[in-house]
């Protein structure tokens, strides 16, 4: 840089550079500080001892006699591996999330398909109709099902009145209720990506195939379904990932047989106040979800590239 430029700096340029740095800096630092670094802290505390103190965990680093001791306590992870409760909770979560996602797909795909095929002037209204419930309080929507599924609730009364059953069915506080809750809460997240994928589908492909004598069902399996793959992946991940960590649905609709890791973590943290074990549970949950999250990010990036 030459001297004259240094002596009379171009303020305008300096200001725009400053503005640029601010725009980059503030959101970047915010997300770094409040999203990424917290995970590092969870990792750190998952290696700590549980102590009866405030905060209720030991420190990893000890500096005494000019020696820095780092104690990594693996006991929390060994504890998780030893107790069959945690292992079955992880499997239970993945199982419930997996089948919940399948049910969502089974209901959501035809819905999205029908929306994409509906007359143009209806599509916008249908879309809002599907999305509106997801704006309404999650808690309230789950609560609504408690009233319906109870032993003396609406569904049982209806079935008794119709003579289908003689005795009320126990639905609330079972896994059936959890599945209903998951499909109900997450259905819009499945419908939306699939719909937006299907609506972009080039109709001339289908017409060409039909002109060449392909049957409608074959058309669907050979053209429509493969082309909506990105939508299916995105929708499935939007349901599966949050469903694995679901807390509210198993607590309100599930029963003692419902073992889900979100619920266990919640109890470990709030009831037992065992922060290190809760941290270890969160780290393992994150590891379980790492691959689905990567698939989701990949599908999103590909979708964005295709558009531009």
Partner 1 sequence: MTGKKYSFSNIVLGFGLMFLYLPMFILVIYSFNASRLVTVWAGFSIRWYGELFRDRQLVDAVITSLEIAVSSATSAVILGTMAAYLLNRYGRFRGRTLFSSMITAPLVMPDVIIGLSLLLMFVSLSTSIGWPEDRGMLTIWIAHVTFCTAYTTIVISSRLREMDISIEEAAMDLGASPLKTLFVITLPTISPALVSAWLLSFTLSLDDLVISSFVAGPGSTTLPMVVFSSVRLGVSPKVNALATLIIFCVSLAAFVSWWMARRADRNQRAAYQMMGRDQ
Q: Does 208 bind partner 1 (CB under 8 A)?
A: no
Q: Does 252 bind partner 1 (CB under 8 A)?
A: yes
Q: Does 85 bind partner 1 (CB under 8 A)?
A: no
Query: What is the rounded radius of gyration, in angstroms, for the C-alpha atoms of the chain?
Result: 26
* Interface with partner 1 (CB under 8 A), residue from 5, 117, 229, 302: 117
Q: Does 177 bind partner 1 (CB under 8 A)?
A: no
Which is closer to partner 1, CB of 3 or CB of 161?
161
| Angle, CA of 237, 228 and 209, to the nearest 5° | 165
* Interface with partner 1 (CB under 8 A), residue from 3, 270, 271, 305: 270
* Whole-number Cα distances in Å, 198 to 88, 131, 226, 307: 38, 17, 11, 14
Q: Does 170 bind partner 1 (CB under 8 A)?
A: no
Residues binding partner 1: what is the number (CB under 8 A)? 104
Q: Does 269 bind partner 1 (CB under 8 A)?
A: yes
Q: Does 168 bind partner 1 (CB under 8 A)?
A: no
Q: How far is the CB of 88 from partner 1 (least distance, A)?
A: 18
* Interface with partner 1 (CB under 8 A), residue from 139, 158, 208, 290: 139
**Tokens (6 digits) for 146:** 């408690």
With contacts defined by CB under 8 A, name the span among 1-9, 75-83, 158-166, 192-200 that binds partner 1. Answer: 192-200
* Interface with partner 1 (CB under 8 A), residue from 9, 10, 14, 55: 55
Q: Does 37 bind partner 1 (CB under 8 A)?
A: yes
* Interface with partner 1 (CB under 8 A), residue from 177, 238, 259, 277: 238
Q: How far is Cα 7 from Cα 29, in angstroms, rounded to an integer? A: 32
* Interface with partner 1 (CB under 8 A), residue from 157, 170, 214, 267: 157
């Amino acid at each position: 840089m030459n001297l004259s430029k240094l002596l009379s700096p171009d303020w305008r340029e300096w200001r725009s550079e400053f503005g640029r740095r601010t725009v980059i800096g503030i959101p970047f630092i915010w997300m770094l500080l409040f999203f990424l670094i917290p995970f590092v802290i969870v990792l750190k505390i998952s290696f700590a001892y549980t102590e009866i103190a405030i905060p209720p965990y030991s420190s990893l680093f000890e500096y005494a006699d000019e020696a820095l001791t780092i104690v990594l306590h693996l006991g929390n992870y060994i504890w998780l591996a030893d107790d069959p409760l945690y292992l079955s909770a992880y499997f239970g979560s993945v199982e419930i999330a997996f089948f919940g996602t399948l049910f969502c797909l089974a209901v959501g795909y035809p819905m999205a398909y029908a929306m994409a095929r509906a007359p143009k002037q209806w599509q916008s209204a249908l879309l809002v109709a599907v999305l509106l419930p997801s704006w309404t309080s999650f808690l309230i929507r789950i609560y609504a099902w408690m009233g319906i599924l109870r032993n003396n609730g609406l569904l049982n009364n209806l079935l008794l009145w119709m003579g289908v059953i003689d005795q009320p069915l126990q639905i609330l506080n079972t896994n059936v209720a959890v599945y209903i809750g998951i499909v109900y809460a997450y259905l819009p997240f499945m419908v939306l990506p699939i719909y937006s994928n299907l609506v972009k589908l080039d109709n001339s492909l289908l017409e060409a195939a039909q002109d060449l004598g392909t049957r409608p069902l074959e058309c669907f399996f050979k053209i429509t379904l493969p082309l909506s793959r990105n939508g299916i992946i995105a929708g499935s991940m939007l349901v599966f990932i949050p469903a694995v960590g679901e807390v509210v649905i198993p607590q309100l609709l599930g029963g003692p047989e419902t073992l889900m890791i979100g619920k266990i973590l919640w109890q470990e943290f709030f009831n037992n106040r065992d922060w290190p074990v809760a941290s270890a549970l969160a780290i393992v949950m994150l590891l379980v979800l790492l691959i689905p999250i990567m698939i989701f990010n990949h599908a999103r990036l590909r979708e964005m590239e295709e558009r531009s």
